[in-house]
Chains A and B, each alone.
Chain A
């Protein structure tokens, strides 16, 4: 059971927009800690996709965006492409655990 809750799967057709939620609590996201997002393509290591809630590292397409509100955060992907099919993870910090926490991951399927 992950501290941060993500939907196990989402799907969308090419060109569509999908969102992935990440729900935490008052000891992590709700306490003001940053949320980061990672993309893990099949058989590869995770890659930082969004840092500090909404910042895109160099090289990440602007089709990817992040937001945070209250005890939740969201990752939005617009103009869905086949290459976006991957697992996506949110990550934050939890003060009651005194450590980094990840969401359980969401598998994105491009129909």
Chain B
């Protein structure tokens, strides 16, 4: 089964951007789909979007369209999330997760360890 390892914690200024990586091992990268989910401090889970590397297809939650981008590099088996125009409300732990199932049935397993992004002036 695929294993996911994310990049380390980040501290960013408001208005800047952050890029978080998620390296997959133990599976066929391109045949997987990867999703990003965030969790603000003390809050619940919030789905942000997903990518299917083999097709280059992406889908984003309506809330994040415009300043959120998911990409994938098949040569390094790594998925990335890029969030721009950061504000304090974006302070959260960002998780990548392997998505399985077709649209409407998808679930997430396994998950990366999470990356804390702190937005502070």
Contact = CB atoms under 8 A, between A and B. Distances in A.
A102 B47 CA distance: 7
Nearest to B109: A48
A53 to B, nearest CB: 10
A28 to B, nearest CB: 10
**Interface size class for chain B?**
20 to 34
Given A2-B44, A100-B35, A48 B114 contact: no
A48 B47 contact: no
A12 interface: no
Interface stretch (B24-32, B69-77, B80-88, B99-107): B99-107
B111 A34 contact: no
B101 A34 contact: yes
Nearest to A57: B109
Interface in B87-121: 95, 97, 101, 103-114
Contacts of A2: 44
A4 B20 CA distance: 28
Contacts of A45: 95, 111-114
B105 A34 contact: yes
B46 interface: yes
Interface residues of A, number: 25
Nearest to B100: A51
A91 B113 contact: no
A46 interface: yes
A27 to B, nearest CB: 12
A92 to B, nearest CB: 9
B44 A46 contact: no
A30 B111 CA distance: 27
Interface of B: 35, 37, 44-47, 59, 61-62, 95, 97, 101, 103-114
Interface of A: 2, 33-34, 36, 38, 45-48, 51-52, 57, 89, 91, 93, 95, 97-105
21 contacts: A34-B105, A36-B107, A38-B45, A38-B108, A45-B112, A46-B95, A46-B97, A46-B111, A47-B111, A48-B109, A52-B101, A57-B109, A89-B45, A93-B103, A93-B104, A100-B35, A100-B61, A102-B37, A102-B44, A102-B46, A103-B44
